[in-house]
Amino acid sequence: MYLMKDITRDGNPILRQQSETVPYPLSAEDRKLGQKMMQYLEISQDPEQCEKYQLRAGVGLAAPQVGVGKLMAAVLTPPDEDDPEQISPFKAIMVNPVIVSSSVQQAALTVGEGCLSVDKEFPGYVPRSDRITVHYQDLDGAEHQVRLKHYPAIIVQHEIDHLHGTLFYDHIDKNQPSAGIEAKFLSIRAIKSAISNKDVIPN
């Protein structure tokens, strides 16, 4: 199980490196990596467990953030509080993910983005494509291609950035950090339903 002490912080060179393709079949080590990243997200989105282990709640975690330079990331979008079954809109351990198409229309979280690996706050809009199509493999090697929009799309773009040495604040316009863009989205209700009083912006 990963704890906050295991999270790589900004300034570590691995966060600025290109990650390597993961070969199949997965090694036991790589499979465990994916499982442990998802486990972190699941525990961090449980208020009691999050408090118990002193975690920062998250919706995504990429391999470089735990010191591994491989193309792998876990995403767990919180369910909407109006969903009686409380099912995550998008939950996946993505191996070798590639964004194959993206919309011209942009979106950003109105509260900005944050990151488990970045302790300092960087105010400002982080422009992302509002809709994307992403191709990836799961832990068993099966290929998936999914279309995502709004909040799940933002999360996935944030995590894929990590795999290519990019951090969220690289996208902020330093001269006009709050400059308007075409659309802004923030799934307030989904966030509140999953985590109480926790920071769950992309990690």
The catalytic residues are 159
Angle at 147 between CA 144 and CA 150, to 5 degrees: 135
Let me know: does 71 contact 22? Beta carbons within 8 Å.
Answer: yes
Let me know: does 156 contact 62? Beta carbons within 8 Å.
Answer: no
Burial of 147 per CB tally in 10 Å (0-12, 13-18, 19+): exposed
Let me know: does 2 contact 40? Beta carbons within 8 Å.
Answer: yes
Residue type, 30: D
Q: Which of 144, 154, 64 is nearest to 109 (CA)?
A: 154
